[in-house]
Chain A
Amino acid sequence: MAEVVVTDLVKKFGTETLAVDNISFTVAEGEFVTLLGPSGCGKTTTLRCIAGLEIPDDGEISIGGELFTSGSKGVCLPPEKRHLGMVFQSYAIWPHMSVAENVAYGLQAQGASRNEARGKVDKALELVGLSGLGGRNATKLSGGQQQRVSLARAVAYNPRVLLFDEPLSNLDAKLRERMRLELVNLVKELKMTALYVTHDQAEAMVMSDRIIIMKDGRIQQVGDPHSTYNEPTNSFVADFIGVTNIIEGSAEEKNSGGLLVDVPKLSAKILCGAGLDREIGKGAKVLVTVRPEYIELHAPDSDGANRLEGVVDKAVYLGQSWDCLIRVGDTDLRVHVRGDEPIEPGKRVTMYILPERCVVLKD
């Protein structure tokens, strides 16, 4: 009913800049999907095209089977005809209206009577935890409260899809973390379809059913938080989400355990068990990514692949783990070691990596 379908969307700014370069994706009914990427990747432009605030140059957007925008058919519904809810980064709370007037605005715009609106405003304010603040001047509230008003305003008239444009990035760190969960819970409770834009990968991981990672106007990878973290398809995704080591090597033989990659800089061979869903010829140059927390310091006794010898170069204590740089061959590996046992620079260590944690990238 409220499925979002974006097909071959193109948006240029001026004649040169391709903000959105031919992207397609869908958001299923009731799903929480995040567009994630660095600034300038086209995620906000995509969202604004869906809201009708930008006119795309080409492609189609439809929600619940209704065509909103189509380059070839010359259709472009104005934003007010789309029945969407949107939460902006700046909150966009109208300073000349009270909290209740802000929330009632959309209801009245869509033809709700005064009484009907009042009931729904109270309900929406209760949902976001602002009961009783309806009479306040909205701009006198704190940032977090303003964001809640903005959220109440967007959900009050039960829109078909909720759009979020970096709604938490103006809040301080602690509040931001709390709001992530509250926001997701609320959206799920209301069984709404949501499309969320952020540049904060942690936020995307916590909140989303699926994440769409974008760069330079193109989609890099689509997947749930688990797969995007553990099986990144290219070095951009691997690097953008979390912390990682990316090492160069050349493919050797492929066997049942995975692909054996020779890494001269580590003076070692690494058996890679993930990212192998494509043909890789012998001798081909490949990039392999390994997350720092998947490198273990206590290797099993048996000799063989994925066993590395190194010297601790630097070690920083982070509380729940040690963040270390360990010199292996000609290069440093980033390694996270759990526990609080002291790790001194200069110490010789033996490391081991499970083959399925070594992911061959597609670039």
Chain B
Amino acid sequence: MSTESDETQSSLKTGAAAAQAAVAPAPFLGRMFNAENLTKVGSLILLTVLAIVPITVYLQSSFRVHVEGSQLGLTLANYVQTFTEPKILRAIWNTLVIAVGTAFFSSIVGVALAWFHARTDMPWRGALEPLTLIPFFLSSFLGAIAWWALAAPRIGILNRWMIDLFGVSTPPFNIYSMTGIIMVMALFYVPYMYLFTIGSLNRMDPALEESARVCGTGVLRTALRVTIPLSTPAILSGAIIIFVVSAGVFGVPTLLGPIARIDTLSTVIYVKMEEYPLDLGGAAAAGSVLMLIAVIGLYVQRKIVAPRSYVTVTGKGFRPNRVMLGNWKYAALALNLAYIIMAVVLPLGALFLASINRAWLGGFRWSQLSFYNWDFILFSYDYAMDAMKNSLMLGFVGGFMTVVLCTFLSMVILRGRNKKLSSVVDYVATLPIGVPGLVMGMAFLITWIKTPLYSFPLFLLMLAYMTRYLPYGLRTITAILQSLGAELEESSRVCGESFIGTIRKVTVPLLRPGIFAAYLMLFIMFIRELPVSALLATEDSTPMAVALYVISENEALGVVSAFALVQAFILLVGTILFRRLGNIEKLSV
């Protein structure tokens, strides 16, 4: 070739010789202390400080009895108390009933809706899908407030309607009940189940169903005997995750439970921590039980259910044929509409009506029409406005920092040549998924309360969010990174670009949609975050969800509704904004 390429070659040679010289004197060190291993060890140290230290301090405190000013030695007293006190045993039972009920009902509705949308000719599918998914972007706590306005025995709109229109003598609905709690939570988790299953239903090879039809089974039997069983591992995985998450939910039972004296583990922990006398050890032990429920659930999901998934996706490109439902398609439509009415229209409508009435007596009155509540929340209630600022800060900045960390960690885990170290990083980064939010908040509180970090409460809260929700962001980004194929990066390395340069020039640009999807998800989670914040937030760092909780205890329903709608508005606008910016077309859980 020409002289200029000879020049390149000679310069390459000297560069390579220099590199060799740098490696040669310390061969063993050269192998162990390269940039990749240092990065991996560095991430491990970071994760240890973020996750392992607080969890260890927390567990340790559950084995101590705290007497004013001093600590006794290790003891099982807290656990003995937890498993002997009838109130706590009842709370454990209630927690399990709520979690099982929520998982069961949201699975049934979610799977049915996913099947209607993915595989049948139900009308108006395109228009109904975004409406069906709206609860995914709101929060269960918001749903609880709305259903409180709808179905509280005396002031609930639905109860008033029934009494006024049909002359029923006693209020027919009572949201302050186990049924009420489970219904509110199940409504909220339906979209999760929908998203868990729609992907596999969409991609399932239609030949699997068609061959059942050719063999002589009808539409419904094919769905029940072939389609749904093939999705069973995916459905079970989703149901277990909903079970675990709903066992840790704090907002709904704390709002709807007290009147019917329904305690759950999370409300017990909260009361032990926030009310006099403080029972740190007891709260920690109850939290450990909650953590154990989560760990067992996730273990079953990961080790037993997930590995049994069927491979039903073939490489061929195809357009799935839809199942013709006949007249049943109107029944499907009715179910979907009923869901949207109960989960979206009624709650948001009730909140809206309540927010524009000066005084709320269980029904909208033109005579009471007023924008006082909105004016108050948006322009004169400092507490609410500070909370909004804090939450926006946590959502945008905290979400951004978490997404940066997740991107970085997913590359540390999936790329590079030291696979052993990668799997350790992966393991530690996934640990927080087994730690319920309330427990994580408590762990951060007792670990850092006596350190200077506690003087920056908003920052501490952000670190806790980051740690708690790390596994979710990480999973979104690793899924995309895995699908990218390592060759795109390997060819960059072979071309002469370094590990870091490759990340900057190849990996990150390709990951962009995934990064935005993760940012969106974390933004939503951070804006509505309640369990981590409930114990950890201070007066200066109160986020919106905590403020909403406090306001719901102290203010009239109109003010509460206006504030809840502000939160809903931020969540929905944020969602649209992120999806525009990141060109996100499909949602994933």
A interface vs B, CB < 8 Å? Answer: 51-55, 64, 66-67, 70, 73-86, 88-90, 92, 94-96, 105-106, 109-112, 116, 120, 150, 153-154, 157-158, 160, 163, 190-191
Contacts and interface: CB of A to CB of B under 8 A. Distances in A.
Nearest to B486: A53
A202 to B, nearest CB: 25
A92 B488 contact: yes
Contact of B494 (A64, A75, A79, A94): A79
B1 A94 contact: no
B34 interface: yes
B20 interface: yes
Given A55-B417, A82-B16, 16 more contacts: A75-B20, A77-B19, A77-B23, A79-B490, A79-B494, A80-B493, A80-B498, A83-B16, A83-B496, A86-B490, A90-B485, A109-B497, A150-B491, A154-B495, A157-B8, A190-B1
Contacts of B487: 88-90, 92
A157 B24 contact: no
A158 B9 contact: yes
A52 B24 contact: no
A40 B418 CA distance: 22
A109 B490 contact: no
Contacts of A74: 27-28, 30-31
Nearest to A163: B494
Contact of B496 (A54, A67, A73, A109): A109
Given A77-B19, A77-B20, A160-B9, A86 B30 contact: no
B495 A105 contact: yes
Nearest to B499: A78
A191 B9 CA distance: 13
A96 B499 contact: no
Interface in B11-49: 11-13, 15-17, 19-20, 23-24, 27-28, 30-31, 34
Contacts of A94: 488, 492, 506, 510
Contacts of A73: 24, 27
A197 to B, nearest CB: 14
A106 B494 CA distance: 8
Contact of B16 (A66, A106, A120, A163): A66
B509 interface: yes
Contacts of A163: 494
A8 B27 CA distance: 19
Contacts of B16: 66, 77, 81-83
A153 B510 contact: no
Given A112-B8, A157-B8, A158-B1, A79 B493 contact: yes
Nearest to A90: B487
14 contacts: A53-B493, A55-B417, A74-B28, A77-B23, A78-B34, A80-B499, A81-B16, A88-B487, A88-B491, A94-B492, A106-B495, A111-B11, A154-B495, A163-B494
A96 B489 CA distance: 13
A75 B8 contact: no
Given A80-B493, A81-B16, A75 B509 contact: no
Nearest to A91: B487
Contacts of B13: 64, 66
A83 B16 CA distance: 8
B497 A80 contact: yes
B143 to A, nearest CB: 40
Given A67-B20, A94-B510, A112-B8, A157 B496 contact: yes
B5 interface: yes
Interface string B526-569: 00000000000000000000000000000000000000000000
A75 B501 contact: no
Nearest to A157: B8
Contacts of A110: 8, 12, 495-496
A89 B491 CA distance: 11
A105 B5 contact: no
B29 to A, nearest CB: 8
A109 B492 CA distance: 9
Nearest first, the 6 closest Cβ-Cβ pairs linking A and B are: A106-B495, A74-B27, A79-B493, A92-B487, A109-B497, A109-B496
B507 to A, nearest CB: 10
Contacts of A51: 490, 494
B494 to A, nearest CB: 4
A158 B417 contact: no
B491 A66 contact: no
B490 A92 contact: yes
Q: Which of A67, A94, A111, A154 has the most CB of B within 10 A?
A: A94
B8 A54 contact: no
Contacts of A67: 20
Nearest to A55: B417
Nearest to B27: A74
Given A67-B20, A77-B23, A92-B488, A109 B30 contact: no
A153 B499 contact: no
Contacts of A86: 490-491, 494
A340 B8 CA distance: 57
A204 to B, nearest CB: 22
Contacts of B17: 66
Contacts of A191: 1
B496 A106 contact: yes
A245 B185 CA distance: 71
Q: Which of A55, A75, A92 has the most CB of B within 10 A?
A: A92
A75 B12 contact: no
Contacts of A190: 1
Contact of B417 (A54, A66, A83, A85): A54
